[in-house]
Amino acid sequence: MSDLIDILKRFTPEIIDLLERRYNILRTISYAQPVGRRLLAEQLSLGERVVRGEIDFLKGQQLLLSDAAGVRLTPECELLIPELASLVHKLRGLIPLEVYLAEKMGLDRVHIVPGDIDQDPKVLKELGKLAGRFIRDVVQDDWVIAVTGGTTMSEVAHHIPPMVPGKNRVLVVPARGGLGEQVEIQANTIAAGIAQRLGASYRLLHVPDNLHGDKMENLLTDVRVQEIISLNKGANLLIHGIGVPEEMAQRRGIDWQEFLRQAPRLPVGEAFGYYFAEDGSVVGVTPTVGPKLEDLVKLNMVMAVAGGKSKAQAIMAVVKRGFIDVLITDQGAAEAMQQRLAEAGSQFSAV
């Protein structure tokens, strides 16, 4: 298969470009259907005439239907989309890149979706789909799954396929409290959403995540809070995102300039309330009821989901801490990490 792809790329590159364009059209329709041609052209940044021609061709192949409401996929096309996604994955050479990053960064597995969230927000949905399938495939009976909050985790929850029959008694718990943000991206909401998709049960953690001093200490003595913390420490799978430090500080109401003045080194990545420098060292901590670093390294499986070229440095900094086993990312971040690794030679090691 790889030899055939190399031949196609060399002798008929226009076929590869055409395939990717038609896949992007179908993928975009799948997220917005039914969708009008003008709006579709705007979302794809293509001319209306080009989009009209492609739609006519795809309708002729029994892949699209159209009516007054707009264009939508046929049932046959719905089944074809995952196969096309896999083909595009191979065409872009992402399998060798997955192996390279896993080997260089000391990870068990790396999975990459085509595209770059920074350039195309729809790639976030693809990231959620891939992470959702991974969760569905690995979860086992009696597992405890812990999950953090955030926009990326929300997409993961929305795109988990239905649970495979025979897997049951799964419990999903939040791995942190709320940050006073919109309820849709809080860990409680996401834990409940994942549980619903998996046919599992869940527990909630009705506490804020940004208390300080005695307030946090008193909160941690609550029996119900202690129970959730204990479940987090024994989780079989923990799923989390990776943040850009300044953005996470703003979400927590922290004065970023004051934070920088106190930090011994520049923070470039964030996870679980810890702020990491480029070498993976911790340069700042904000209070959280979630798991601590010493808990994370003991867990069976920790999966990070993050994408976008702009997050490459943040991802690498958090990975260097050594608690992540599986990374789900996108092509933009993956290629940026590959470039950073090439520039650094063999100098990538966990703290």
d(C-alpha 332, C-alpha 325), whole Å: 20
Element (H or E) spanning 309, and its range?
none
- The enclosing domain of 197 has a CATH number of 3.40.50.1360
Residue 349 counted as domain residue: no
Q: Give the torsion sign (CA, 240, 114, 337, 269).
A: negative
Same domain, 65 and 124: no
Same domain, 153 and 267: yes
What is the percentage of the chain residues whose pLDDT exceeds 70?
92
Mean pLDDT of 173-180: 77
Mean pLDDT of 239-251: 90
Residue 83 counted as domain residue: yes
Mean pLDDT of 184-194: 91
pLDDT digits (tens, 9 = 90+) for 41-80: 998 888 999 999 999 999 999 999 999 899 999 999 999 9
Same domain, 33 and 181: no
Same domain, 198 and 306: yes
- Radius of gyration, CA atoms only, the chain: 22
pTM of the shown model: 0.88
Residues 125 and 219: beta-carbon distance below 8 Å: no
Higher pLDDT among residues 8 and 216, named by residue: 8
Confidence at residue 2, expressed as pLDDT on a 0 to 100 scale: 63
pLDDT digits (tens, 9 = 90+) for 111-151: 999 999 999 999 999 999 999 999 999 999 899 999 999 99
Confidence at residue 207, expressed as pLDDT on a 0 to 100 scale: 74
pLDDT over threshold 90, residue 92: no
pLDDT tier at 347 (50, 70, 90 boundaries)?
low
Tokens of 26: 């179908």
Confidence at residue 335, expressed as pLDDT on a 0 to 100 scale: 97
Same domain, 133 and 49: no
Same domain, 37 and 64: yes
Tell me if residue 232 falls in helix, strand or coil: helix
Give residue 147's domain range: 93-344
pLDDT over threshold 90, residue 214: no
Confidence at residue 286, expressed as pLDDT on a 0 to 100 scale: 84
d(C-alpha 11, C-alpha 31), whole Å: 33
pLDDT tier at 164 (50, 70, 90 boundaries)?
low
pLDDT tier at 229 (50, 70, 90 boundaries)?
confident
Determine which of 15-29, 164-178, 294-308 has the lowest per-residue pLDDT on average.
164-178
